[in-house]
Amino acid sequence: MDTHLHHDHVESHLKSSDLLRDVVIGMSDGLTVPFALAAGLSGAVDSSSIIVIAGIAEIAAGSIAMGLGGYLAGKTEQDHYSSEVKREYDEVENLRHKEIEETKEFFANIGLSEELQDKATEEIAKDKDRWVDFMMKYELGLDKPDPKRATKSALNIGLSYIAGGIIPLSPYFFIDDSTEALKFSVIATLICLFIFGYFKSRITGVNAFWGAIRVTMIGALAAAAAFGVAKLFES
């Protein structure tokens, strides 16, 4: 019998952080929305200066809106956690027997014997704070959020949106003819969308190539639709 078999399996789970999630949210919209706006305006106006002004305004408004959304989401998470902590403390104080039963039930579900269930529950219940932390994590599945999470999320998403939005807009800074600038914008943005989609898919654990194709196609379709609508109304 090979005693080394248990060493052959290597865990390779990818843990995505809050920062990565924020960057994905901000960058995906930042690449797509200004790209579609610039493409749409290119179908309606000849001057790149108008597109630059509109694009900058959209990036500013979009980054603020996205950042505010991230901030509110972070604050909601904190408020929800705080309210659940208060509820758990109240239950530990006033419904102790119920909380003991729920704690024992958790240990029973993971396969401990009744004797060990009683011992583990008794040990945890000695410290009220530790008991509440235990119930928050294992009964409710809630981890204590970073108190600065809301602010960090707002900045991460907002700055990622700006970084993504500058890419499709950048050719219009240097090329006066909007149609010519659009060609370079399409090339630059689709390359960035493909790269972004590839790494996003790697992070989330799906097929990287097809994930990249999907993200690129979404951006391309959005821009094509905006350009087509602009041309339709122009005529």
Whole-angstrom distance, CA of residue 48 vs CA of residue 96: 69
CB 203 within 8 A of CB 19: no
Mean pLDDT of all residues belonging to the chain: 84
More confident residue, 122 or 3: 122
Q: Binning pLDDT at 50, 70 and 90, where does residue 235 land?
A: low
By the 8 A CB rule, do 168 and 161 touch?
Answer: no
- Average pLDDT rounded to a whole number, residues 212-218: 89
The pLDDT of residue 203 is 78
Whether residue 192 has pLDDT greater than 70: yes
Regarding predicted confidence, which is higher, 179 or 162? 162
C-alpha to C-alpha distances, 178 to 50, 58, 173, 192, 219, nearest whole angstrom: 9, 17, 10, 20, 19
Q: What is the pLDDT of residues 68-86, one digit of tens each?
A: 999 999 999 888 888 888 8
Collapsing DSSP to helix, strand or coil, 228 comes out as helix
Where do the domains of the chain lie?
A: 17-234
Residue pair 52/185 in contact by the 8 Å Cβ criterion: no
pLDDT of residue 65 exceeding 90: yes
Does 12 have pLDDT greater than 60? no
What's the CA gap between 29 and 198, in Å, rounded? 16
Mean pLDDT in residue range 207-225: 88
Tokens, residue 93: 């104080």
Which residue, 233, 221, 191, is CA-closest to 39?
221
